[in-house]
Amino acid sequence: MNKQLKSMQSLPPLSFATRVKHLKQLAVVIKKNQDKIIAAISQDFSHRCTEESLLAEIMVCLDEINHTLKHIKQWVRAKTWHADWKFYPSKCSVTPQAKGVVGVMAPWNYPFNLVIEPLVAAIAAGNRVMIKPSEVTEHTAALIKDLMAEVFSPDEVYVVLGDVGVANQFSSMPLDHLLFTGSSEVGKIIMRNASEHLTPLTLELGGKSPVLIDNNYALEKAAKSIVKGKWFNAGQTCLAPDYILIEKDRIAALLDCLKQEVAKTYPDPNNNLDYSCIVNPQHQQRLQDLLKDIPAANIHTIGTPGQGQKLSPTLVVDPPLTHPIMESEIFGPILPIVSCDDLAAGIQFINQRDKPLTLYLFSNDHKIIQTVRETTQSGSLAVNETLVHFAQRNLPFGGIGNSGMGSYHGYQGFVTMSHMKSVYYQSKINFNDMVRAPFTSIKRTFISFLNR
Ligand code: NAD
């Protein structure tokens, strides 16, 4: 692995023409192999809803490529300004430059998308790329390796397959940038590994993304959006609503709305092809364990109990706040509803915990929206809809604090994967001799003038 990195680092950045050619080829290869990609993911999950894969793995990646191809000419251009007036008529410019070899480490929940989107940004910026897909989704990982070989030479994009040991070695290499997507816990290991070589990092992590519902917002409408966002991919989404905060007297009504909406969206979830499986028995067990020690009266399972690798949509009302269900990221089809006294208490609840990847707010009141936007911190804030902010090419995507550092998507991805090099061009007319020793009286007068 290290030898491969060294060899790639000895080569020049990809030319503009090569980047464009490869991005176009990548789109063609994804379209041509769409069915194979969907089948590999479904095999890895035991079953993944085809339309979910079409939307979240294929469409989003093609959109990212198309957006990049549309704007890349403008992104790569150096931007030039006049220097500050005191240095006039010199010029300054910012020139994007490839960083070198970028590492991409991906998780299993969207195993294709979370390799391809960072790859597109890295290639657009002219980098060579080493990829480490998740070992949990091994069929998808093997397919990614094959597909990359159809588009890139091994010196341009190199795919490393392997387990956690390999992942550790991968993140310990002297890469020129590493974009890691995964859990906050593993993110800490990656940061330690990367620190050895001061490898610049983008950490796309997880955590608990809360939903806050304003007392005047229609519950049927909120439920419709929450159900879509929560049970897409059976809750195995970094952005899935993790828990809901709502005033106590509205819990019963919300529970009804959510139950009805789930029943409408996923009739008989265990025999419903629209409802995806839990990725493996270990995660199935982890999720079942999350319900331990919660009184049965507080647990509302919708549909028949889960079979095989399916886990029924489950609502949990007011679990103890010190229970693991409220302390760790759920990452599955279980959704706690937590009561709070009012909106201010809800905001306080959020602010007392780790900064989330996304905060969902359901409200039509501009004052409330402004208050939540200004008094909370999260990677993103989504108002009155779940998940779709991920698909906005003009919105940087990333967390803050425990949910990550740095961001990508669209132009922001290009910037993240580039070194934005500052260049100063001294003009022939140069007043700088006026501000250097020996400081004669005329120079002192000039400096006083500058300091007015
Ligand atoms: P994970 O952290 O277990 O694994 C991610 C990657 O890290 C994999 O490539 C794996 O090989 C590697 N890895 C695992 N253990 C390691 C170790 N001990 N040392 C070094 N490398 C190791 O995450 P996961 O279970 O695959 O994915 C779920 C997590 O990812 C959730 O927390 C979710 O919120 C987060 N996630 C975040 C985003 C985002 O964009 N912010 C997107 C998807 C998932």
Ligand 1 binding pocket includes 168 (Cβ within 6 Å): yes
Q: In the prediction, which pLDDT does 177 show? A: 98
The answer to whether the beta carbons of residues 360 and 241 sit under 8 Å apart is yes
Mutate to test the pocket of ligand 1, among 134, 137, 145, 354 (most ligand atoms within 8 A of CB): 134
Compute the distance between CA of residue 298 and CA of residue 290 in angstroms, rounded to an integer. 13
Amino acid 270: pLDDT: 87
Q: Are 301 and 266 in contact (CB under 8 A)?
A: no
Edge to edge, the sheet with strand 79-82 lists 79-82, 91-98, 418-425
CB 357 within 8 A of CB 206: yes
Distance CA 309, CA 306 (A): 7
Return the ∠ at Cα 29 (arms to 25 and 30), rounded to 5°: 115
Decide: helix, strand or coil at residue 129.
Answer: strand
Residue 6 identity: K
User: Does 169 contact ligand 1 (Cβ within 6 A)?
Assistant: no
Kindly compute the dihedral angle of the four CA atoms of residues 50, 56, 62, 66, in this order, to the nearest 10 degrees: 150
Question: How high is the pLDDT of residue 417?
Answer: 98
Say how many Å lie between the CA of residue 45 and the centre of ligand 1: 16
**93: helix, coil or strand?**
strand
Smallest CA separation from ligand 1 atom 23, residue: 182
| CA dihedral (15, 21, 22, 27) positive or negative | positive
Distance CA 30, CA 243 (A): 35
- Alpha carbons 116 and 61: distance in angstroms, whole number: 7
CA dihedral 443, 448, 449, 452 (to 10 degrees): 160
* Ligand 1 mutation target, pool 112, 144, 183, 286, most atoms within 8 A of CB: 183
Helix, strand and coil content of the chain, in percent to the nearest 5, comes to 50, 20, 35
Measured from the Cα of 187, ligand 1's closest atom is 2
Measured CA to CA, the distance from residue 186 to residue 102 in angstroms comes to 19
Which residue, by CA, sits nearest to atom 32 of ligand 1? 183
Ligand 1: centre distance to CA 414 (Å): 23
Residue 397 backbone class (left: φ over 0; alpha: ψ -120 to 50; beta: rest): beta
Give me the count of residues in the chain: 452
pLDDT along the chain (452 residues), means of 10: 97 98 98 98 97 98 98 98 92 98 98 98 98 98 98 98 98 98 98 98 97 97 98 98 97 97 93 95 96 96 82 96 96 98 97 98 98 98 97 96 98 98 95 92 94 88
Distance of CA 117 to CAs 76, 192, 336, 378, Å? Answer: 18, 25, 31, 22
Which residue in the list 57, 117, 204, 261 is annotated as catalytic?
204
Alpha carbon distances (Å) from 368 to 127, 338, 362: 43, 20, 10
- pLDDT tens string 8-65: 999 999 999 999 999 999 999 999 999 999 999 999 999 999 999 999 999 999 999 9
Atom of ligand 1 nearest to the CA of 404: 41
Q: Helices (DSSP H) in 10-59: which residue ranges?
A: 16-32, 34-45, 50-53
Q: Which residues contact 44 (CB under 8 A, 6 or more apart)?
A: 108, 111, 136, 137, 138, 139, 140, 279
